[in-house]
Structure 1
Amino acid sequence: MDWTLRPAGGEDAERLALIGAATFLETFAGILEGDAIVAHCAREHGVESFRALLSADGSAAWIAEAQAGGAPLGYALVTAPKLAQAEPGDLELKRIYSFSRTHGTGLGTALMGRATGHAESVGTKRLLLGVFAGNVRALAFYRRHGFETIGERRFRVGSQECEDVVLAKRLFGEGR
Structure 2
Amino acid sequence: MTRYRDGELADAEALDRIFRTSFCDTFAHLYKDEDLQAFLGSFGLEDWRSELRDPSYAFRIAEVDGEPVGYVKLGPMALPVETAATGMDLKQFYILKEHHGAGIAQELMDWALVEARRRGIEELYLTVYVDNHRARRFYHRYGFEAVGRYDFMVGNHPDEDTIMRKKL
1:24–1:41 contact (8 Å) kept in structure 2: no
Q: CA deviation at 1:134?
A: 1.3
The answer as to 2:65 corresponding to 1:51 is: no
TM normalised by structure 1 equals 0.89
1:159 to 1:58, Cα distance in 2 relative to 1, 3 A: closer
Identical amino acids, percent of aligned pairs: 33
Q: CA deviation at 1:10?
A: 1.8
1:43–1:49 contact (8 Å) kept in structure 2: no
Q: CA deviation at 1:118?
A: 0.3
The answer as to 2:6 corresponding to 1:10 is: no
1:91 to 1:26, Cα distance in 2 relative to 1, 3 A: same
**Structure 1: runs of 5 or more not aligned:** 172-176
Q: CA deviation at 1:39?
A: 2.4
Match of 1:72 in 2: 68
Give the aligned length: 167
2:61–2:70 contact (8 Å) kept in structure 1: yes
The alignment yields a C-alpha RMSD, in angstroms, of: 1.4
Counterpart CA distance in 1 for 2:19 and 2:82 is 24
Q: Secondary structure at the match of 1:30?
A: helix
The one-character-per-residue Cα deviations of 1:59-114 (angstroms, maximum 9, x if unpaired) are 110111112xx222000010011001153410110001001111111100101011
The one-letter amino acid paired with 1:153 is Y
TM normalised by structure 2 equals 0.93
Match of 1:82 in 2: 78
Runs of 4+ in 1 over 6 A off after TM superposition: none
Counterpart CA distance in 2 for 1:107 and 1:131 is 19
The one-letter amino acid paired with 1:71 is E
**Structure 2: runs of 5 or more not aligned:** none
